[in-house]
Amino acid sequence: MPLKMQGNIHDDKLSLPGWFRQGIPNQAKTKKVKDILSKFNLNTVCQSALCPNSGKCWEKGVATFMILGDVCTRNCKFCAVSTGLPKKVDSNEPQNIARAVKELKLKYVVITSVTRDDLPDKGASQFISVVKAIKELCPETKVEILIPDFGGEFNLISEVAFSGAEVIAHNIEMVKSLYKAVRPKSDYDCSLKILSDIKRANKEVVVKSGFMVGLGETKDAVYELISEIAKNGCEILTIGQYLAPTDSLRHVKVKKYVSPEEFDFYKDKAYELGIKYVFSSPLVRSSFLAEEGFNALQNRRQPVKCS
């Protein structure tokens, strides 16, 4: 039975605008990254979530690692990651990621995960182990972790807040009105609270979040979302265009391709509301230019315009 959503989100497929065109990445450089990932048997969100920027990032020798396997216990209608029964947690994963970080010579690394509601600690200890392994092998490398909601358990959020990561991110993903249909196993208010809980646990870490547009939301709903994210302590914000991973009914369809000009409006609104650094552009994703955002925030440089 087709998914029913406000705004007829399963309309016929829209044509992809010209601003999504990207050049072909250097194949030799991307192969080097792919070979290292394969060597250490690692997953990346670049591959599992079908990120449109993967070629560009891999060409630069950058990848976003996805820990705790490649099978998620939830079934969000926007995500390409497989859902089902996950495998046992790989105890070698932290050291393997650290070795890959060293071989790739990364000075800044982003670690995310599938959601693991099946684990007693929801996967929090694996995040901590990965950060520790990276810091031991590559002490100069800055680490950003993009965490799931951990069931909203403050003790788990507090533990990862003191993992040693410089940035802790949790994505709100979309406006509140779309949660029931698109993120049925997640809770909007819980996700917002996680942002404030991170800062409440450890005032020294940078708090980051992100969301998508183009799912049928109104501009007013986006403004409200940005306001609530800002009120909950977010310092770095990413705003990008939703792209349906497949044409199947498992995934909601794109309702609108938001123009670059509208993304600029959202960016300006976010700055007005107190967000310190904003990436807002059609191809922006959570880990997009993550190192640049962190460095700019630390150095209080003026934000650069995304292209």
* Domain membership flag for residue 124: yes
What average pLDDT does the segment 107-117 reach?
A: 94
Pairing state between β 82-83 and 167-169: unpaired
pLDDT tens-digit profile of 273-307?
Answer: 999 999 999 989 888 888 889 999 988 645 455 54
Cα gap 154→40, rounded to integer Å = 32
Per-position DSSP letters for 94-126, written without gaps between them: HHHHHHHHHHHT-SEEEEEE---TTSTTTTHHH
110 vs 17, more confident: 110
Contacts of 279 by beta carbon, 8 Å cutoff, 6+ apart: 236, 237, 238, 239, 288, 289, 293, 306
Mean pLDDT score of the chain: 86
Look at residue 5 and tell me if it is in a domain: no
The CATH number linked to 276 is 3.20.20.70
| CA 178 – CA 8 distance, rounded (Å) | 12
pLDDT of residue 24: 63
The pLDDT, as a whole number, for residue 148 is 97
Question: What is the reported pLDDT for 44?
Answer: 73
In a domain, 304, yes or no: no
**Considering the domain boundaries, does residue 246 fall inside one?**
yes
Look at residue 5 in the predicted model and tell me its pLDDT: 36
pTM of the predicted model as reported, rounded to 2 decimal places: 0.87
Residue 307, domain member (yes or no): no
Q: Indicate whether 18 belongs to any domain.
A: no
Given a cut of 70, whether residue 165 has pLDDT beyond it is yes
Residue type, 29: K
What's the structural domain count of the chain?
1
Q: Which domain holds residue 203?
A: 27-299
187 pLDDT exceeds 60? yes
pLDDT tens-digit map of 121-164: 999 999 999 999 999 999 999 999 999 999 999 999 999 999 99
Q: Is residue 220 part of a domain?
A: yes
Cα–Cα dist 96/88, whole Å: 16
User: Rounded to a whole number, what is the distance in angstroms from the first to the last CA of the chain?
Assistant: 39
pLDDT at 98 over 50: yes
- 64-67 and 43-44 as β-strands: parallel, antiparallel, unpaired? antiparallel
Residue 96 confidence class, pLDDT cut points 50, 70, 90:
very high
Predicted local confidence at residue 103, as pLDDT: 92
Determine what percent of the chain is predicted with pLDDT higher than 90: 64
Q: Which pLDDT does position 26 carry in this prediction?
A: 61
The share of the chain scoring above pLDDT 70, in percent, equals: 84
> Is the pLDDT confidence value at 55 over 80?
no
Q: Is residue 2 part of a domain?
A: no
pLDDT over 60 (residue 8): no
Q: For 194-244, write each residue's pLDDT tens digit.
A: 999 999 999 999 999 999 999 999 999 999 999 999 999 999 999 999 998
The whole-number pLDDT of residue 45 equals 60
Model confidence at 10: pLDDT above 60: no
pLDDT of residue 27: 67
